[in-house]
Structure 1
Amino acid sequence: MRKHMVLAIAALLLLGGTAGANLLRNGDFSEWTGIYPVGWLVEDTTKARVERSTDPVRSAPAAVKLTRMVEGTGNNAGIKQLVPITGGQEYTLTAYALDDDDNASAGIGISWRAADTSYISHSGTAYGDSTVRTWQRVSKTATAPANAAYADCLLRIYGFTGSQAGGVVYFDDASLVQGAGAVEEPGQLPAPARISVRPNPVSGPARVGFAVARAGRVSVALYDRTGRRVVLLADRRFEAGAHELTLDRELPTGSYFVRVTGAADGLAKLVVR
């Protein structure tokens, strides 16, 4: 942040405890090994090419780009991630898709698998709308079979009768949570809020303080008012207790949210530049 920058703070509560932590690894596609996203398995590159995208992107620094390599319907592929779950419980898979190509559709779904990873059943597929020419939220909520031990989370590019090869869709900010919630839904004002940005007002770097109720992975990030992530301060395991991070970044004039999600209290603060 520039010297003499002044931050005005207003507290907001995210999730209100109605949604759990994101069970997916690297759901924002910020981590890549070579040409593939960390934590994700590429299904079949003869059917769908997988690439890192920095433009377009919903949350910096990257999204995943899928290009359909075959014509017509069927032969749908993309990326997937196998996540341990509890049988008989409800889960929600969510991703943001940019699906403005008339030769392809974005789709997400869950394949339920047993302890030996054998296939049990499928949740059904939720599709993006190719007439929406911007990032859109696609979500699928389903209950795991009682004998399920894993959710195989699928982000795919789909074809249809008459579609040509070369269609493109993008995915970003994917999450799997237990229940019917989502990772970044707004809630009401907390009382009191247990996240701080100080000093307030501030010149120079700011300190972001937050409390973790239980040990676990916590993500702390700065978002703009459109929901695009602009700074990731931390995404790692924190022990229970109070923690503090430094927010020191050149920012254009505008409004931002510092959001804390995961094993923390799901809080955010409005930061005005």
Structure 2
Amino acid sequence: MKQLIGLSGALLLLSGAAQAQIDNGDFETWSGGTPQGWTTIDSGIRLSQSTAYATTGNSSAQVEVLTGTQSNTDFRQSIPVTAGVPIEVSVDLYHTEGNVKARLYVGAYQGYSNPALTGQWQTLSHSYTPSSTGNIEVGLRFYDESGFDGNETVYVDNFRPRNDSTPVPGCEDTEATLSLTTDGYGSETSWNLADAQGTELYSGNGYGNNEQVTETFCLADGDYRFTINDSYGDGLLGSAGYSIEIGGQVVVQGSQFTYSQSSSFTVGAGGGDNGGGDNGGATNLEAYYLSAEGMTGYSLKNELHNIIKGHSSQGYSALWQFYQANELDNYYENDGSILDIYSEKPTSGDSVHFSAGQDQCGSYSREGDCYNREHSFPKSWFGGKVEPMNSDVHHIFATDGYVNAKRSNYPYGEVVSASYTSGNGSKLGTDASGRTLFEPIDEFKGDLARAYFYMATRYQDKVAGWESNSSNSDLVLDGSADRVFEPWLLALLKQWHLDDPVSQKERDRNQAAFEHQGNRNPFVDHPEFVEMIW
């Protein structure tokens, strides 16, 4: 389940001469089971004082998340801020199970904690510059991850101004240090650090001009991506720049870019080889996309086309072997059955289970009979069994044969009146405009949107001629090689892409597809490319 449960509570503090204070940010003072100073504590969470875990003083707040209803789990207080005075916010978090993640709230929602770091403290921080003098709310919000069972405990302590010269409290993994010098337009600069699942762990913005910033991260072994942005589009000017060091070694650095620059690095031995490997399975994505660096708009799309266009078609029958090895449920029930996007139930037991290699279609008369190969971008749209589109695994998914037939070649969309609903809630019907559409469940909408952005990019030299191939291709394609999609569908795909971020399942499938046919989906590796192009 990717809907977020909320617990919005927070910390916030001014650096320098600012006046803001957090009341009872160390959770040492309690009255009647309630921490002093925290004015909003909704019924969907339960707070209690804990002396078992603490990073400062003798106690912390033990937060039990009890509900999946986001609006019922707020945890906040209001603090005064001064216009133009930067605030550095920092809080310590201790995850126990890893099935929820915390999101910092400082006048707006900011970065996420890393739920995979269980049994240890981690620090969540954010830099913020108020635009006006007054009060803002600060807090945390908790979001559910796959496996959340309706009750999970997270310990919270030490809302504070961050002293960047000191180590991350209680860090039992690897410390990494970001050094950033802004240029004369510091407010244009922002950054974030995300893990391999695309979860934002740390972020920063709202800087002053020519400011020197130091941030310390606590990182478990694995792969990470650092992204820096400039809202004006001229990068960091003059002597400004940034770097990340681990153990005295620079793993990321830069200064000259336009709107955005991303760099990948690996901590420890378990996170990837960062430079090569068998079957061309390199995790050094910066080298793969190097020729597109600094580009935006349709120039970026054109260069991505040049990067991914030369894939080696393996043929339609080879998809069965790909599914047997790579289209397996190792993410929800973890039973190794075929992961069928039209029957998978992410939050409960599946009604349908397909054994890899044994339950291939064949004939079918009802849902659950067999699985087949679903062209998410229907083959009738590109002219039939035409290679390499007909066997391009980046847009062909394992699905229930009966439901696949119901979907036919109808476009994806938002159904308001359903004529058919599959066992997991996928629907065939009409939208508000009367168009016949097929709507997958929320869990896979982002996956399918990014498959469509891949098709628009990989085949931009062909796609302009596909509009007239069928009435449904005419409904979704605009006859161009750049925008590709009609405005209604483009807006929908972009929304699905935002609402359902890249998952580990997608990243694993993208790597497997790269090893299978020799090209990648850029919008899985770099989700920010969608907004940069469209």
Bigger radius of gyration, 1 or 2? 2
Greater RCO structure (CA 8 Å; 6+ sep): 1
Higher helix share: 2
Higher strand share: 1
